[in-house]
Structures are given as structure tokens and as C-alpha cells.
């Protein structure tokens, strides 16, 4: 049986790893961290990006891995920034996104977890959280956390203490954890 501590989160983003580690620990899964920059293909498909990243991550780590790719989708902006969320954050940031969104502030946050090991090309798990874009930046979180308000909440991810139980990342990781624990028996 494979040891659970042999699963590595491969990313250049330590914030994502720390959240994933906390979430997966609640399922009894120990998660290591392999910090490296990964191949970032250009695609309109979050699933295709996640598959490519997972294969690159496994090639670099040589151990069972998971990667995460996410997308903030704003329907009133035609789905922008979507799979280009990281680039948009790096270029216009939260203020730029808040300034772009006018009346219809509805948004969706997607997370795709991709698992890869020596016997598996890639297994994908998706989580979605519906919500809206805040009218102003609120809180000290990282990434889009200070501007995304999940449905049913009045505060941003950056302001709520239970983010790791309602987030898109949690939903995707919970699906992965259920599958992983079941397949490791």
C-alpha cells in the first residue's frame, strides 16, 4: 500500500500548498511540498492546463503528485479572466478586476486538482464555488481572496475564518481525498 505521505503538492505557490495541506490533513492525508515552476500551457480549458501541469510535475518530482489550477470566472465579463487568472492577477491585480466589474458582480471560482503517479496519466477533480466580486478589496488574504465573496457569506475569502471549508479548493480536494483513500485500500 502506498504511504499517504508520498503524495506531493507541486507548485511555485506556497500559499496553495499550505491550504491544501490543512484541508487534506482533515482527511488523514499527509501532503509533502515540491516547490518548482511548472509548464503553463495557453488554453481556454482549465482541464487541459491541469493535465499538462500534472505530467510536467510528475516528470520533475518522480513521485505521486497533485497540482492545482484555478480560474476566477466572471460571467458579465464573458468569463474573464478564466484560465488566465494568474496572468490577470499579475498584471492588473485585484483593483483592476474590481474596477472592471460594474453592475452584475456574480462570479464562480473553479479549482481543478490533477493527480498523477507512475501508473496514472492524470485523474482530475473539480470544485466550484459560486459567489460575487466585492465592490472593494477587503481583508489581507492572498490572490483573489480579498475580492471574492462566496455565496451565503457577506465577507470575502480573506475575511472569513472558514474559507478552507467552503472554497473551490476545498471542494476539489475533498473529491480527490475521497477517491485517494478509496483507491489506496
Write down the domain spans for the chain. Answer: 4-183
Can you read off the three cell numbers belonging to residue 24?
487534506
Is residue 100 a contact partner of residue 89, using CB atoms and an 8 Å limit?
no
- pLDDT at residue 105, as a whole number: 98
- pLDDT at residue 121, as a whole number: 79
Length of the chain: 185
**Dmax of the chain from CA atoms?**
53
Quickly name the fold that domain 4-183 has: Maf protein (3.90.950)
Among 6, 44, 56, 69, the active-site one is 69
Cα(61)–Cα(114) distance, rounded to whole angstroms? 14
* Angstrom distances, CA of residue 104 to CA of 54, 79, 131, 162: 35, 12, 11, 26
Is residue 58 a contact partner of residue 119, using CB atoms and an 8 Å limit?
no
Q: Kindly give the confidence (pLDDT) of every residue in the chain, 185 residues in length, as a single tens digit, with 9 standing for 90 and above.
A: 344 456 999 999 999 999 999 999 999 899 999 999 898 888 889 899 999 999 999 999 999 999 999 999 999 999 999 999 989 999 999 999 999 999 899 999 999 999 999 767 789 999 999 999 999 999 988 999 999 999 999 999 999 999 999 999 999 999 999 999 998 75
Is residue 167 a contact partner of residue 129, using CB atoms and an 8 Å limit?
yes
Q: Is 69 a catalytic residue?
A: yes
Amino acid at each position: 500500500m502506498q504511504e499517504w505521505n508520498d503524495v506531493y503538492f507541486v507548485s511555485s505557490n506556497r500559499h496553495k500548498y499550505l491550504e491544501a495541506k490543512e484541508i487534506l490533513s482533515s482527511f488523514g492525508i499527509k501532503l509533502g511540498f515540491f516547490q518548482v515552476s511548472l509548464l503553463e500551457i495557453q488554453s481556454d480549458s482549465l482541464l487541459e492546463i491541469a493535465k499538462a501541469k500534472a505530467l510536467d510535475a510528475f516528470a520533475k518530482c518522480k513521485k505521486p503528485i497533485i497540482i492545482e489550477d484555478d480560474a476566477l470566472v466572471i460571467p458579465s465579463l464573458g468569463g474573464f479572466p478564466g484560465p488566465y487568472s494568474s496572468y490577470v492577477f499579475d498584471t492588473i491585480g485585484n483593483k483592476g478586476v474590481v474596477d472592471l466589474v460594474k453592475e452584475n458582480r456574480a462570479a464562480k471560482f473553479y479549482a481543478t486538482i490533477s493527480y498523477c503517479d507512475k501508473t496514472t496519466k492524470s485523474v482530475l477533480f473539480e470544485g466550484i464555488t459560486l459567489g460575487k466580486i466585492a465592490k472593494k478589496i477587503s481583508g489581507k488574504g492572498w490572490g483573489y481572496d480579498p475580492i471574492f465573496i462566496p455565496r451565503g457569506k457577506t465577507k470575502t475569502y480573506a475575511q472569513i475564518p472558514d474559507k478552507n471549508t467552503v472554497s473551490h479548493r476545498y471542494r476539489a480536494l475533498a473529491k480527490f481525498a475521497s477517491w485517494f483513500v478509496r483507491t489506496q485500500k
